[in-house]
Amino acid sequence: MAEQIIEIENLVKRYKELVALDHLNLTVTEGEVFGLLGPNGSGKTTAISCILALLQFDKGSVRVLGKEMQPDSYDIKRQIGVVLQNVAVFEELTVQENIDYFCGLYITDKKERKQCVEDAIVFSGLEDFRRFYPKKLSGGLLRRLNIACGIAHKPRLIILDEPTVAVDPQSRNRILEGIQKLNQEGATIIYTSHYMEEVEQICTRIAILDKGRCVAMGTKEELKAMIKTGEKIHLEIWELKPEQLEEIRSLRHVYQVDYREGMLEIRCSGGKHNLVHILDYLARREISFGRVYSELPTLNDVFLEITGKELRDSAE
Amino acid sequence: MFFRLYIYSLKQTSRQKLIMFWSLIFPIILGTLFRAAFGEFLEEEVIFHQIPVAYVAEEGASLAFEETLNLLEEDNGLVKIVRTDGEEAEILLKEEKVEGIFYNRASAAEKGNVSLTVTSQEMSQSILSSILEQYQRVFHTMGNIGRENPAGIEAAVKEIGQQRQYLTEGGITDTPKSVMTDYFYALIAMDCLMGVSMGLQIAINYKANLSNIAVRRVASGTSRFGMLMPDLAARITIQFLCTVCSVCYLTFAMKISLGNKFGLLLLTTLVGSVVGIFMGFFIGAIGTYKESLKEGVCVCCMMLSSFLAGLMVGGMYRFLERYAPIVNRINPASLIVKSLYSLNIYEGYERYTQCMISLLVIAILLGTGAFAMIRRERYASI
């Protein structure tokens, strides 16, 4: 059975009146890419700070690699790599110097460190920017440097706190691919984000946070299975009468209909051939339509159903 | 690991243009401006203002001391003697018209003993005290030689002649000294204390609530102490080198005479730099206040300390010595100034050593306090 890398029990953290973490319970198993998904202010970064023993908390316990995490738990910290939400590099050191500096806080052997630094540079695609100072790098490259500094020492557990914020799509894809590669090489990953697509793409297990509480946890399939929505069908219809809307709503498996600005969105709860039934109805009523597409529920739908609000709206 | 982190810390700090400006360029600019402003005052090498001192001699008292005083007054201009009786001398001292009273008594028990009465412990009084000490040393030496080895009296007289020449030619030491040199001592003290910025930066790099780099460092597998030592060593090295550059510039380019004990002068700047760095480190380690606030406090402390040491207003040291002497005992800039002063005024190293010990005690207290604050620190919020 795989080892529990992180065990959080009943964690409570308050900022005066605000409850940032409300009896949070989490476990992360070795080898997984664990996603912490939630809007800004949901408690993701606070949870990470508690895991790293940076923040005092009011109640609960945090165990990392089987031990209680303390500020001086250096034996545990040596096995953790941290990539922060904000870029944390020295402006006065070059790309290579920065990676070497932070790698050297974990690895003292010169030869081994040199190899690790080289691997990190290649991994993050910064070969052509070794002697560049951070201020000369673009936003995407800077983020890659930030990641390289956090993972150069090849840690067993890597914590990435929103590493793709304000990153161009090309760099974002490269970062996500890199994270998957690190996981394949054996690292356990904790990945926080409010971008559900990223979490869906790379995470093997996901916890959805809202107001400091874990509202749902499981694989993405498990999470999607928790909600009523099984399929979303979108149709472009120029004119639709209220009684027709009611008839659509009464179709089998349809439980929610929303018609706005010429777009009809129909949510169906499981069932097969939903689209066929709807198209059949439109043909019978001689209702003309344009584009039609169907999609499976996303994590946003999970969040929406559980919390009553959009993940993206909350995030921005 | 220490050496590698030390080298990186050196690189990182030395590439910070703003810090290098304040620690290296600004003191040089200020020194140049001082030099331009004081101009000929410095070239005249005025030794001191004459120290007014009352001289009360009883009838039948030894003339040797009076003769020594005459020489110091006439040949050297070091003292201005007011010959008077005991009562009037005390009135003069009370009214601060003289800096001290030399009593030359004739009584059997006190014959040959000259005493000095002063009301404060300032520079002038220290000089008068040194004159008396030197006289008494010679007086007793002669007495002993006369009793035990009359044959050596000739050599002893020769020695006295040299001592007298020494007193008349060079004052307390033979270092030429301008009154304006005090400003340059204060400038060197300020330069040392410029290290507060670097010290503050060290602390900020351990404050996870103030800096992203601190989060990464604190979350790393190296202890805070293990990271702190190279940081401190590197910053002290850079601050010390900056101060050495300033001192060399003043000495060799500006031709300011800062004394002959260059090695000890550099030792003073090293200890001063340590205090400056630790002061900033301590301020930075206090609480969870914003970095900008801490920067402001650092600048205020540094400027206030320099002001109290006489950087902006000459005679501040004397003023404080009279009305609040404790300030001079705990103000790092005043201690640096006093140690430099002591080096070039007094023959012995007692006062210099006292100042150095005081500075080291301050540094140890600040450093220990700061480390105690950041050790195992966790935050209520980040």
* Residues A40, A103 within the same domain: yes
Say yes or no: A97 contacts chain B, CB-CB below 8 A.
Answer: yes
* In-domain check, residue B380: no
* Residues B150, B286 within the same domain: no
The single-letter code of the amino acid at B357 is I
* Residues B130, B17 within the same domain: no
* In-domain check, residue A56: yes
* In-domain check, residue B279: yes
* In-domain check, residue B379: no
What CATH number has the domain bearing residue A8?
3.40.50.300
| pLDDT given at position A118 | 95
Residue that terminates a domain, selected from A193, A225, A257: A225
* In-domain check, residue A304: no
* In-domain check, residue A313: no
* Residues A84, A204 within the same domain: yes
User: Which among A15, A79, A82 has the least Cβ separation from residue B216?
Assistant: A82
* Residues A186, A59 within the same domain: yes
Say yes or no: B213 contacts chain A, CB-CB below 8 A.
Answer: yes
* Residues B253, B122 within the same domain: no
**Cα atoms found within 13 Å of the Cα of residue A14, Cβ hemisphere only:** 5
Q: Among the residues of A209-290, which ranges form H helices?
A: 220-225, 242-249, 274-284
pLDDT, tens digit, 9 for 90 and up, residues B20-35: 999 999 999 998 998 8
* Residues A142, A66 within the same domain: yes
| pLDDT given at position B267 | 94
Residues of A whose CB is below 8 A from B381:
15, 55
One-letter-per-residue 3-state SS of A102-149 = HHHCCCCCHHHHHHHHHHHHHHCCCHHHCCCCHHHCCHHHHHHHHHHH
* In-domain check, residue B9: yes
pTM (2 d.p.): 0.76
What CATH number has the domain bearing residue A267?
3.30.70.980
Say yes or no: A165 contacts chain B, CB-CB below 8 A.
Answer: no
* In-domain check, residue A314: no
Q: In what helix (H) or strand (E) does residue B11 lie, and over which residues does it extend?
A: helix B2-14
The CA distance from B194 to B188, in Å, is 10
pLDDT at B380 over 80: no
Residues of B whose CB is below 8 A from A87:
212
Residue A279: give the domain boundaries.
231-296
| pLDDT given at position A316 | 38
Read off the pLDDT band of B46 (50, 70, 90). Answer: very low
* Residues B340, B308 within the same domain: yes
Whether A231 and A217 have beta carbons less than 8 Å apart is answered as no
Length of chain A: 316
Say yes or no: A89 contacts chain B, CB-CB below 8 A.
Answer: yes
A74/B221 touch (CB, cutoff 8 Å), yes or no: yes
* Residues B75, B163 within the same domain: yes
Low-confidence ranges of chain A (pLDDT < 70): 1, 310-316
Residue that terminates a domain, selected from A225, A247, A273: A225
Whether B256 and A128 have beta carbons less than 8 Å apart is answered as no
Domain count within chain A? 2
The mean predicted confidence, pLDDT, of chain B is 82
Q: What percent of chain B stands above pLDDT 70? A: 84
Measuring CA to CA, which residue among B214, B196, B217 is closest to residue B277? B196
Whether B318 and B332 have beta carbons less than 8 Å apart is answered as no
A74/B377 touch (CB, cutoff 8 Å), yes or no: no
Whether B280 and B198 have beta carbons less than 8 Å apart is answered as yes
Domain count within chain B? 2
Helix (H, G, I), strand (E, B) or coil at A215: strand
Residue B13: give the domain boundaries.
2-43+177-374
The CA distance from B83 to A31, in Å, is 96
* B169-178, B218-227, B309-318, B342-351: range with highest mean pLDDT: B218-227
What CATH number has the domain bearing residue B156?
3.40.190.10
pLDDT, tens digit, 9 for 90 and up, residues A218-276: 998 888 888 888 888 999 988 888 888 888 888 888 888 899 888 999 988 877 788 88
Say yes or no: B379 contacts chain A, CB-CB below 8 A.
Answer: yes
* In-domain check, residue B55: yes
* Residues A162, A214 within the same domain: yes
* Residues A101, A38 within the same domain: yes
* Residues A200, A285 within the same domain: no
User: Which among A56, A92, A153 has the least Cβ separation from residue B15?
Assistant: A92
* In-domain check, residue A279: yes
In terms of phi and psi (left: phi > 0; alpha: psi -120 to 50; beta: otherwise), the region of B101 is beta
* Residues B101, B165 within the same domain: yes
B15/A56 touch (CB, cutoff 8 Å), yes or no: no
* Residues A218, A89 within the same domain: yes
pLDDT, tens digit, 9 for 90 and up, residues B295-304: 999 999 999 9
* In-domain check, residue B12: yes
Q: Which range has the worst mean pLDDT, B220-224, B328-332, B344-348?
A: B344-348
